[in-house]
Chain A
């Protein structure tokens, strides 16, 4: 896969990881951004034309000051689809990216093919409060995000040596920039009333969840299923919130199976 840069009508400049051939599929990453290695995207690209844009404020993508609230993020998603020249793409979103993909599908339900939500944010259940990701010590992050925190820690830092002050500084600055952006739709509670709009969804939908997700616990999967009655739900074992990175094979099997299924 290779990087390209697209500019939206609004003026954001986003880096997009692109590869493969087949039906267009747009993958929206979560609050942590794309990691250094994203093997599930390479695998998806074997059957689809995959586009994985970075949100402004992530990596080399710029223009974060142009996006302030949920509607801005949602329209930015469609602006990207337009800037990439795609027609009726599949939308796949993970975590915060799932929240945005679901909003996109609510505001323009006929402009996408199928919708896949992987441990999406966007709902809130009082009986299952989601841990405050904006108030975590560095070592707590992997514990919350991964089924296997030790392996997860290595994935998060992408092999950077954080005992090196310069590397630590760079990692810290990047992380502050990413979460500052994510906070606009996730802080202090990741609920921008999406539940009021989900009735509009018409696209065929798949909800995927990691069985040991400690950030957004699987009870939320049931809530999504209840709010999108026609959605299918699949829970995948040995995976936490970072399901795409912990079980890429399982993820790709489930997504490909769903997207290639005849109507």
Chain B
């Protein structure tokens, strides 16, 4: 199993009456609720936590892209990954990812991801989400019905830019570039591992399988609800005649560890409820603009996915519900281990994106939960997939002799690097 420590970077100062007073945490959230001076401390706290996770032995540290969003302070995840590239040297940098339909031209992503891969010594895991409708359509103005087409073109351009050793002309529908010549190129060949975060679009499964990309299901609603979707994915894997390596799939899960189950509730309940009640409070139409989902996906899920129903669930959540319905996995190390085993086996996943910082959780609680997990849970879950032990197809392949920038003093000269005279 591979474990990635993920921080969504929520704004921890949403007021108590946020839900009652504002219709959405995303798109049209009042920007007056943001305070840049507090934000300075918030960013550093979150970045410190990501670096801390590396010291505890997490395989990866992760970030993602959201815009105009009160629970995701990373409009540019590449900036976050860039700071981490200079302060870490062992963990994979999982950028899950860049919403490539929104980049103009998307060659920018090929370049920035290549920079990250080079600076980090080949530690980049590159995510290419279609992008949520909130981000891609409402914040970045892309036409819903053309978003997937534009996404595919952006993907083709980026992959060709990485693969080609000659400048080439790209005559796309959305991008016309006479001279494509990606400089620099990534260290990892033929390209960094590609992760495709999917919500519930069935087209995404085939896309992942066409190219052998990892399929990442990023849900905040736990493995019981994620199961039907991942079952559908694995059915598709079998139908396509692909092997069943669990590393083809990743899942995101909120996790809270304490000494006992009761202690977990005492420590973490208010912060998890902050996350579900305030951070996921999205005006439903922003989540479902006509044309974003294909007719095939709409008919597949039909009304089951209607976001109004989901909003209803969020209104009066309790800790007990969160735990009983496994939205979150919380409790003593033993409880968490048992439930995660069920989650990992049930979903058949080799990668877990672990969400330890939730809502307005203070730093010390986040670290406490993370440390208990790293010491008392993670070691017991390492060998869940012995038959796939050596399957590294969906993980980073860094340089062996890479630099350890975090061990050097800022401004220090490199030993033995005098100019030849």
Which residues of A are at the interface with B, using a C-beta cutoff of 8 A?
68, 134-137, 165, 168-169, 172-173, 175-184, 187-189
Contact = CB atoms under 8 A, between A and B. Distances in A.
B146 interface: yes
B290 A177 contact: yes
A68 B137 contact: no
B138 A180 contact: no
A136 B137 CA distance: 14
Given A135-B138, A172-B303, A184-B145, 11 more contacts: A134-B285, A135-B283, A135-B289, A173-B299, A175-B290, A176-B291, A176-B295, A183-B290, A184-B146, A187-B143, A188-B138
Contacts of B293: 176
A170 to B, nearest CB: 10
Contact of B284 (A137, A176, A182): A137
A135 B286 contact: yes
B143 A165 contact: no
Given A172-B303, A173-B295, A184 B289 contact: no
B150 to A, nearest CB: 11
Contacts of B299: 173
A180 B285 contact: no
Interface of B: 27, 137-138, 141, 143-146, 283-286, 289-291, 293, 295, 298-299, 302-303, 306
Of A135, A188, A189, most B-chain CB atoms within 10 Å: A135
Nearest to B308: A137
B144 A180 contact: yes
B289 A177 contact: no
Contacts of A68: 146
A178 B295 CA distance: 11
28 contacts: A134-B144, A134-B290, A137-B284, A137-B285, A168-B303, A172-B303, A173-B298, A175-B290, A176-B290, A176-B291, A178-B290, A179-B289, A180-B145, A180-B290, A180-B291, A181-B145, A181-B291, A182-B290, A183-B143, A183-B145, A183-B289, A184-B143, A184-B145, A187-B143, A187-B289, A187-B291, A188-B137, A189-B141
Interface of B is mostly: helix
B302 A183 contact: no
Contacts of A176: 290-291, 293, 295, 298
A73 B122 CA distance: 47
Contacts of A188: 137-138, 141, 143
Contacts of A136: 285
Contacts of B289: 134-135, 179, 183, 187
> 10 closest pairs, A vs B, by CB?
A180-B291, A179-B290, A180-B145, A135-B285, A180-B290, A188-B141, A176-B290, A134-B289, A183-B291, A187-B143
B290 A169 contact: no
Contacts of A168: 303
B200 to A, nearest CB: 15
A183 B136 CA distance: 14
Contacts of B143: 183-184, 187-188
**Which of A172, A176, A189 is packed against the most chain B CB atoms within 10 Å?**
A176
Nearest to B139: A188
- Residue from B145, B146, B285, B293 whose CB has the most chain A CB atoms within 10 Å: B145
B302 A169 contact: yes
A135 B28 CA distance: 11
Contacts of A178: 290
Contacts of A184: 143, 145-146, 291
Nearest to A136: B285
A261 B146 CA distance: 43
A90 B283 CA distance: 42
A134 B288 CA distance: 9
A7 to B, nearest CB: 21
Given A134-B290, A183-B145, A184-B143, A169 B303 contact: yes
